[in-house]
């Protein structure tokens, strides 16, 4: 018989995140950051048109746009990881970047992780193999930056907070008055 408890079925907080939520978090964050980039380009084009009267169009093949896009991605992910250990996609999917020892990430590790992240792609995707085969599920960029990705959302804690809020609302004097007024 195992020592599995019911509480373990509702929380994975602190456990190493597996490949699917990490990939979905990255895809979502990439979509958000790309959307912000496209909106910024549209805003700049609009401002240039208002000020100069000339129409500006951005071409994907333009090297300046491509370099700016790569720099933007570095800034977006680096800032997100450095400031709070998660991008928008990670926040939605309940994962976060921590130091390899499980403590909160240092800002310089967030920036380093962002800088070396492309290495995992550039090696024909082999840099991500660690997520599938290692116990700590660390990709190449995690190994270099000394980071790991863990689940940060605690379903059990969220459920307990919800139940406490419900109990508090049920016990409040206003809830009792509302019930008696509805009965009249």
pLDDT tens-place string over residues 56-89 = 888 888 999 999 999 999 999 999 999 999 999 9
Is 180 part of a structural domain of the chain?
A: no
Q: How many domains does the chain have?
A: 1
**pLDDT score of 158:** 64
**pLDDT score of 58:** 86
Is 4 part of a structural domain of the chain?
A: no
Any bridge partners for residue 150, and if so which?
16, 96
In terms of residue numbers, what domain contains 147?
14-175
Is 110 part of a structural domain of the chain?
A: yes
Is 184 part of a structural domain of the chain?
A: no
Is 8 part of a structural domain of the chain?
A: no
- Three-state DSSP class for 141? helix
Please calculate the CA angle 81-65-57 and round it to the nearest 5 degrees. Answer: 130
* Intervals of the chain under pLDDT 70: 1-13, 154-160, 174-184
For residue 178, give both structure tokens: 């509302």
Is 103 part of a structural domain of the chain?
A: yes
Is 7 part of a structural domain of the chain?
A: no
């Amino acid at each position: 018989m195992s020592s599995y408890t019911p509480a373990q079925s509702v929380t994975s907080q602190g456990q190493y995140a597996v490949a699917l939520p990490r990939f979905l978090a990255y895809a979502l964050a990439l979509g958000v950051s790309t959307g912000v980039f496209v909106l910024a380009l549209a805003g700049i084009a609009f401002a240039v048109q208002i000020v100069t009267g000339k129409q500006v169009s951005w071409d994907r093949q333009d090297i300046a746009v491509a370099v700016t896009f790569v720099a933007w991605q570095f800034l977006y992910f680096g800032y997100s990881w450095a400031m709070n250990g998660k991008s928008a996609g990670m926040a939605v999917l309940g994962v976060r970047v921590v130091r390899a020892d499980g403590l909160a990430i240092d800002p310089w590790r967030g920036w380093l992780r962002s800088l070396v992240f492309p290495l995992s792609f550039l090696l024909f995707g082999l840099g991500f193999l660690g997520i599938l085969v290692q116990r700590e599920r660390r990709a190449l960029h995690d190994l270099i930056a000394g980071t790991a990705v863990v689940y940060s959302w605690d379903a059990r804690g969220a459920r307990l907070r919800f139940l406490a809020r419900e109990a508090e609302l049920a016990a409040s004097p206003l809830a009792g008055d509302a019930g008696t007024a509805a009965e009249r």
